[in-house]
Structure 1
Amino acid sequence: MARQRLHTLDDLLDVAEQIVTSGDPSGLTLRSLAAAAGASNGTIYHAFGSKDVLLARLWLRSSSRLRELMAEAMTAGTGSTGTAGVDAVVAVALAPVEFVRRFPASARLFFAQRRDQLFSGDLPPEVEAELAAVQGRFVEVLVTLARGVWERGDRVAVEAIAVCVVDLPGGIVRRCLLEDREADEATASRLEAAVRAIVALPLEPRPPRPAPSPSTSPSAPRSNP
């Protein structure tokens, strides 16, 4: 039977994702993707142009999927007055667990590989712009959550939220993936308890604003001789 040809971008990324997550990422090349997908070399080169662009596209899709789940969780995770902000943080912290369930290969790619190790920085400007936009949307989620809990969007508040929704769930999910198992309800319950304990702690004071540099500060009035 002739191999089915895949031509949509998502189909090609699905095949590439399986190649990367089933072994060494260095085993993925544009030619190996063409062979595995049943597509022509020209189709693959036209879609991606280079291996780094292909890997960047994979990372972009994975991070976008996770960010969409976080946005859904942030909207749905509300409770009674006074707890809505905390409930939203908990819901977003649990989003990576749902990410693994819905998109296991994307989650393995996202959590098992550091972005700077997956592809180089030599990318076309439009891909760089998409990467920056995704990063910006993640930061927006952190700031929104921080303001929902403490009515603060400064560095201290955002870093506390990052511990809750990035560091803790990322470490738990990464360990589950390495052990080839899903995060069970007990694990999710412990994650929720840890997040609620963190947001219950008082925050440090707001960091002081940097003093204006001499080049931007108003000139001092001169005294008469």
Structure 2
Amino acid sequence: MARPSKFTTEDILDAAARAVAHRGRDVALVQIASELGGPTGSLYHRFSSRDVLLVNLWIRSIRRFHQGFLAAAAGEDPAQAAIDCAVHIPVFCRQHPHDAAAMTLYRQHELVTHGPEELRDDVSRINHPVIAALKELAVRRYGTSDEFHQTLMLTACEESPYGLVRPYIASSQTIPDWMDDAVRASSQAILALGDR
């Protein structure tokens, strides 16, 4: 009869998230095992390699982030929903710094072509719900689905706020509370370009 596993997949991913927050992308399996409080064999029991482990961590962090983002995008008032999407970025990253750090481990386009083959399908589809939600939000906000308005929505809700918080994540600094207002103001200004 096989011995029950001492550590769950979530335990291992949590340990990896803590190790990444301290050591970044160069984290070694032995450092993750130290955070876990177990041998490296416990990691290999669940994940075939360091890359598979870290990409699974990246996927989990992205999906956690998407939950709140998609909830914000579904708000009844499209103008407010767009702002709420943008502000979700600094709020989530402040409240979940380990997930925020893990989200910076990779770029999606890199993983699609160079990541572990067994995870490439998940990676390639991971942003589909957000892309669809932003397209729908652009239609609700502007009454059109043309490329210009979709690009404004993407810039205001995702690219601009992420650009503002990324330096804090990269330097392991707490994102200041005033950043929420900065994101709100910049996103409102970008969105207003579509009303001209």
TM category (shorter chain) comes to 0.7 to 0.9
Give the aligned partner of residue 131 of structure 1.
123
How many positions carry a matched residue from both structures?
Answer: 190
Give the aligned partner of residue 183 of structure 1.
176
Partner residue of 1:194 out of 181, 186, 193:
186
Q: What is the SS of the residue equivalent to 1:23?
A: helix
TM-score (norm 2): 0.84
2:140 aligned with 1:148, yes or no? yes
Q: Write out per-residue CA displacement over residues 167-202 of structure 1, whole angstroms, 9 at most, x where no aligned residue.
A: 111012113333712231x32222212212222223
Give the aligned partner of residue 93 of structure 2.
100
Q: What is the SS of the residue equivalent to 1:202?
A: helix
8 Å contact from structure 1 (residues 169, 191) kept in 2:
yes
Structure 1 residue ranges without an equivalent (≥5)? 79-83, 205-225
Greater relative contact order (Cα 8 A, min sep 6): structure 1 or 2?
2
What is the CA–CA distance in structure 2 between the aligned matches of 1:146 and 1:23, rounded to whole Å? 39
The range that moved more, 175-184 or 142-151, is 175-184
Q: What is the SS of the residue equivalent to 1:201?
A: helix
Q: Write out per-residue CA displacement over residues 4-32 of structure 1, whole angstroms, 9 at most, x where no aligned residue.
A: x9511111111111111212422322x44
2:47 aligned with 1:51, yes or no? no
Instruction: Please identify the structure whose Cα radius of gyration is greater.
Output: 1
Task: Describe how 1:80-91 pairs up with structure 2 within 5 A.
Answer: 84-91=77-84
Residue type of the partner of 1:9?
A: T
Q: Write out per-residue CA displacement over residues 44-102 of structure 1, whole angstroms, 9 at most, x where no aligned residue.
A: 11311011111111110111111101012223x44xxxxx1111100000111221233
Task: Describe how 1:31-50 pairs up with structure 2 within 5 A.
Answer: 31-50=30-49
Give the aligned partner of residue 59 of structure 2.
60
Pair 148,59 (structure 1): closer, same or farther in 2 beyond 3 Å:
same
Cα RMSD after superposing both structures:
2.5
What is the CA–CA distance in structure 2 between the aligned matches of 1:118 and 1:39, rounded to whole Å? 31
8 Å contact from structure 2 (residues 91, 180) kept in 1:
no
Pair 175,36 (structure 1): closer, same or farther in 2 beyond 3 Å:
closer
Residue type of the partner of 2:20?
A: V
TM-score (norm 1): 0.74
Q: What is the SS of the residue equivalent to 2:126?
A: helix
Give the aligned partner of residue 160 of structure 1.
152
Give the aligned partner of residue 72 of structure 1.
71
Structure 2 residue ranges without an equivalent (≥5)? none
Pair 148,55 (structure 1): closer, same or farther in 2 beyond 3 Å:
same
Higher helix share: 2
8 Å contact from structure 1 (residues 19, 25) kept in 2:
no
